Structure 1
Amino acid sequence: MNSSVQWSPDVLGEGFLQATLELKPDSEGPVVATLVKAAAPPVPSFFSRLMKKQSLVATNTDVLYVHGWSDYFFQKNLAAYWRSQGAQFYALDLRKYGRSLRPGQSEGFIDNLADYDEDIEAALESIGHGTRASGHDHAVQAGRKLVLMGHSTGGLIFSLWADRNPGRFTVLVLNSPWLEYQLTAAARALVAPVLRAGTKINPKTTMPSIDFGFYSRAVDKHKSGEWEFNYDWRPEHGFPVRPAWLNAILTGHAHVAAGLDIQAPVFTWLSTRSLLVPRWSEDMMRADVAIDVKIVAARVHNLGKLVTLSRIENAMHDVVLSARPIRLKAFSELTRWLRAYL
């Protein structure tokens, strides 16, 4: 680990630390990413029992997690899972998200997903897996295995990064990755030129929102869910959608559709169904209300030569926020896979 990283207490409380990573400024001013470290989060009883019954699957391992769109890291139970398996867990709030969002910045905005390479490299350098530590060779040369884990947009970002950086990590774990828009590829191809034109005229103009707030309702403990989070960092109706950002996302989707060549094993969680409708239903507690899982399931096989798809019945978009029996089944599936490939 980089000894120069300055850790301070994190908003998640006991057992969590954070470090600010300075990045190159842009037209909106100073830019940072934030690395969160789960030093010793409480381990739920289920994970404690699991530790006693089975050998750990992630010893000598570092995990780096990246969140999705309009999101940030708050999933303590995910950190507890990885810690229960012997891993050191880190999460990265990307520039202009969550802990990294600064006044006057366009929330979540970027016009090229590859720009996140700077955020990722800063995080990897901080935890001992930077290019200076690994010499662009396999991550085990740094002395520890490296798991990359991405949720939703974070899954898309990490998939593209993994394709460009073979040998830098051990396995890739994806939680409902946003690998294709909620359209067919043909429809995406029609929309893309219009977006590119809008990007040139006014890249940051606000587009109409299509987020009805149903996902937040399904997650929020004060509504229908069981989790607590900061609405300033994870707004009910999501961040404003801007043409240049959406163009960057569709460009990423097009790269996946054309086929990636991720060399390491890839594991993906997806719900068995989506529910993309404009009216609230209790069924939204048992479905993905953010992406079309059928379309994404087809795209998973474009990631590389060794991919595993785990369909979790009644799972929500963020699988680890699903109802307790569902998320425990998902963790069990991941553990079984890690025994084979990690």
Structure 2
Amino acid sequence: MTFFPTGTPAPRPAGTWSPDILGEGWEQRTLHLGSDDEGPVDVTLVRLTRGPRHDRAVLYVHGFVDYLFQAHVGDALATAGWDFYAVDLRRYGRSLRPGQTANIVDDLAVHAEDLDAALAVVRDDEQHARIALLGHSTGGLVASLWANARPGRIDALVLNSPWLELNDTALMRTVGTQGLRVLAKVAPRMVVGSLAPHYGRALHASTGGEWDYDLAWKPIEGFPVRARWIASVRRAHARVARGLDITCPVLVLTSDATGDHVHDHPDVLTTDSVLAVEHTAALAPGLGEDVVYEQVPGGAHDLALSPEPARSRYLERVVAWLDEVVPPRR
């Protein structure tokens, strides 16, 4: 598959809205995108229905080992005059079906179809003419490449700690990447790594954290990283490194410090202990012509899950910037 090909996909059948696991005021809708070698390909669109409707909408795109559970993000944006939607990508969270390999696809580019389908509902069925994407980590990488390949489709792009480069040694980012490409061809489903568990332990309520989410969909130990998937991610990283031409305004936010991504440490939730902040700072200017890069002091990898006051600073900055570039209609 050509990486994030341009063009408009054919209309896809979609289900109806039904109550969501987040409770009152939340609904979900399954978008059926056919099938592949592991069965049905479904994408789940979630929306917040409390309060008045607005003419502006935000679509949230989660990261790896993740799904939409950050209800407070939706509440903050709704209060600020945005309708809030989120997509659980194929094989993630609400969209994961029995027997499927969790969170892993053979080519990251297939998620362009997921965003196409979700945004078609937000724009056409929900009648939103002005839309912003908000992507976290791997979702930030996917959203960036999608926006680059679909100029004019969205009005703003917000990236929360986007995964733009591999957080590893220079040797692993060069020679190691070449090895991954070979493995992807000869042993595509070989497990080549996983996330360290210290970040997940710091987040979840069962291990002393602040957040209660489904450990079947977001396990503390993560899901195995397989050769073909990570090789596809590295192709995406190489595309970002060559420079993108995103035409809408872009806001990139990260923590102000990089933490140890392998071993536990006391500052796991006040640093980015998954990605290297310096990589994002270096690559952000190459995303487009109108890019703002800012750091949130004391922020975690997912800035929305940071301890206070970093969490509120992050949300306030997102809201203020979105109001600047996509102002409310008076």
Q: Give yes or no for TM over 0.5.
A: yes
Partner of 2:9: none
| CA distance in structure 1 between the partners assigned to 2:255 and 2:128 by the alignment | 35
TM-score (norm 2): 0.90
Residues 202 and 9 of structure 1: CA distance in aligned 2, closer, same or farther (over 3 Å): same
- 2:237 is aligned with 1:270: no
How many Å apart are 1:24 and its aligned residue?
A: 2.2
Indicate conservation of the 8 Å contact 1:287/1:315, yes or no. yes
Residue deviations 1:1-29 (CA, integer Å, cap 9, x gap): x9964011111111110111101211111
Partner of 1:101: 96
Indicate conservation of the 8 Å contact 2:13/2:32, yes or no. no
Equivalent in 151, 161, 180 of residue 176 of structure 1 = 161
Residue deviations 1:6-61 (CA, integer Å, cap 9, x gap): 011111111110111101211111110111111118xxxxxxxxxxxxxxxx9520
What amino acid does structure 1 have at the position aligned with 2:145? L
- 2:21 is aligned with 1:11: yes
Partner of 1:20: 30
- 2:133 is aligned with 1:148: yes
Partner of 2:263: 279
Partner of 2:325: 341
Instruction: Give 1:274-313 correspondences, 5 Å limit.
Output: 274-313=258-297
Equivalent in 195, 216, 223 of residue 180 of structure 2 = 195
Residues 143 and 289 of structure 1: CA distance in aligned 2, closer, same or farther (over 3 Å): closer
Partner of 1:50: none
Indicate conservation of the 8 Å contact 2:134/2:160, yes or no. yes
For 1:234, what is the secondary structure of its paired residue? Answer: coil
Residue deviations 1:218-276 (CA, integer Å, cap 9, x gap): 21123232111000000111111000000011000000000000000000110011112
Partner of 1:87: 82
| CA distance in structure 2 between the partners assigned to 1:264 and 1:184 by the alignment | 33
Indicate conservation of the 8 Å contact 2:122/2:128, yes or no. no
Unaligned runs of 5+ in 2: 1-11
Computed over aligned residues only, the root mean square deviation of the Cα atoms, in angstroms, reads 2.2
| CA distance in structure 2 between the partners assigned to 1:295 and 1:154 by the alignment | 17
Unaligned runs of 5+ in 1: 42-57, 134-141
What amino acid does structure 1 have at the position aligned with 2:183? G
Identity between Structure 1 and Structure 2 (%): 40
| CA distance in structure 2 between the partners assigned to 1:332 and 1:176 by the alignment | 16
What amino acid does structure 2 have at the position aligned with 1:7? W
Which sits farther off after the overlay, 192-201 or 259-268?
192-201
| CA distance in structure 1 between the partners assigned to 2:275 and 2:128 by the alignment | 37
Indicate conservation of the 8 Å contact 1:70/1:239, yes or no. yes
For 2:222, what is the secondary structure of its paired residue? Answer: coil
For 1:188, what is the secondary structure of its paired residue? Answer: helix
Residue deviations 1:163-189 (CA, integer Å, cap 9, x gap): 000000100011100011113667423
Partner of 1:126: 121
What amino acid does structure 1 have at the position aligned with 2:62? H
| CA distance in structure 2 between the partners assigned to 1:277 and 1:96 by the alignment | 25
Indicate conservation of the 8 Å contact 1:110/1:248, yes or no. no
Instruction: Give 1:227-246 correspondences, 5 Å limit.
Output: 227-246=211-230
| CA distance in structure 2 between the partners assigned to 1:298 and 1:273 by the alignment | 14
Equivalent in 145, 148, 160 of residue 160 of structure 1 = 145
Equivalent in 21, 32, 35 of residue 45 of structure 2 = 35
| CA distance in structure 2 between the partners assigned to 1:108 and 1:116 by the alignment | 11
Instruction: Give 1:30-69 correspondences, 5 Å limit.
Output: 30-40=40-50, 59-69=54-64
Residue deviations 1:182-202 (CA, integer Å, cap 9, x gap): 136674232222111111112
Indicate conservation of the 8 Å contact 1:33/1:92, yes or no. yes
What amino acid does structure 2 have at the position aligned with 1:285? L
Indicate conservation of the 8 Å contact 2:13/2:31, yes or no. no
- 2:247 is aligned with 1:247: no
| CA distance in structure 1 between the partners assigned to 2:69 and 2:247 by the alignment | 30
